[in-house]
Amino acid sequence: MAVPLKWVSACAAALLATGCAQLIAPPYSSDFEALDALKRTQAERMTVGTVQPTEVNDAINNLSLRGSPLRSGSGTFAKYLEDALVSDLKDVALYDAAAHTRVDAHIQKNEIAVSNIATGTGLMDVELTVSRDGKQRLRKLYSARTSFESSFAGAVAIPKGQAEYPSLVRALLRNVYSDPAFIAAISR
């Protein structure tokens, strides 16, 4: 009995996770060590501008995992990043919607690749600017690269790729928060 059930389950799993299902990226979870370190700096409170691109149909906001669309629960991946930034800054009491210091971001690359049967990869490039009272203090491209175990089986590789998205954003923002240039730009 166990073997046929296993096969039926495997078939159902393949149907569940390939081709037709629209997947939602899991919620963002911060790198709290990096955030706590940021809290210990002389950083000023800041606001977050609109992260670009906001266009829903932009390729940046439409990822595909072996043909299954991966979407952001926030509507776009730009909004996902914006929400992540705001959530992080609120966590360490550095967010103020009316602050003079403002962070803007533009996602240049946003990829999760699971086509390789052994290793999946994540890639994100974001141009970030920091301004204070309208004067630009920093403009810099930040990158994150992640890799994770993938699989020949789409029913495994696709959810692996889906689960990887928060890790990719976490890696990117960790790079931002630990960058001395960023810390200098947001400091008093």
Partner 1 sequence: MAVLAGCAHPIVVTAEKTPERVEAQLIQKKVAYAMNDADRAKEVTTAGGGGDRVSYYPYRDLEKAVRDALRSVYADVVVIRSATDAHAVRESGAALVFTPEINTTSGSPSPFTWPPTTFTSEIACKVTDASGQEVTRLVATGAGNAEFSEFKSNFSLAANRAGTDVASKLSAEIRAHDKLR
Question: Is 159 one of the binding residues for partner 1 (CB under 8 A)?
Answer: yes
Query: Within a 10 A sphere around the Cβ of 67, how many other Cβ atoms?
Result: 10
Where does this chain touch partner 1 (CB under 8 A) — which range of 18-26, 50-58, 105-113, 137-145?
18-26
Question: Is 16 one of the binding residues for partner 1 (CB under 8 A)?
Answer: yes
Binds partner 1 by CB under 8 A, chosen from 86, 99, 156, 184: 156
Binding to partner 1 in span 34-93, by CB under 8 A: 36, 39, 71, 91
Pairing label, strands 119-132, 101-113: antiparallel
Residue 71 contacts by C-beta under 8 Å, 6 or more apart in sequence? 22, 23, 24, 25, 62, 63
Number of residues that bind partner 1 (CB under 8 A): 37
Question: Is 118 one of the binding residues for partner 1 (CB under 8 A)?
Answer: no
Closer by beta carbon to partner 1, 55 or else 149: 149
Query: Within a 10 A sphere around the Cβ of 185, how many other Cβ atoms?
Result: 23
Residue 15: enclosing H or E segment and its boundaries? helix 2-17
Q: What is the nearest approach in angstroms of partner 1 to the Cβ of residue 165?
A: 9
d(CA 181, CA 26): 30
Question: Is 7 one of the binding residues for partner 1 (CB under 8 A)?
Answer: yes
Please check whether residue 140 is in contact with residue 108, taking contact to mean a CB–CB distance below 8 angstroms.
no
Q: What is the nearest approach in angstroms of partner 1 to the Cβ of residue 99?
A: 18
Q: What is the nearest approach in angstroms of partner 1 to the Cβ of residue 21?
A: 6
Binds partner 1 by CB under 8 A, chosen from 79, 86, 100, 166: 166
Q: Amino acid identity of 59?
A: A
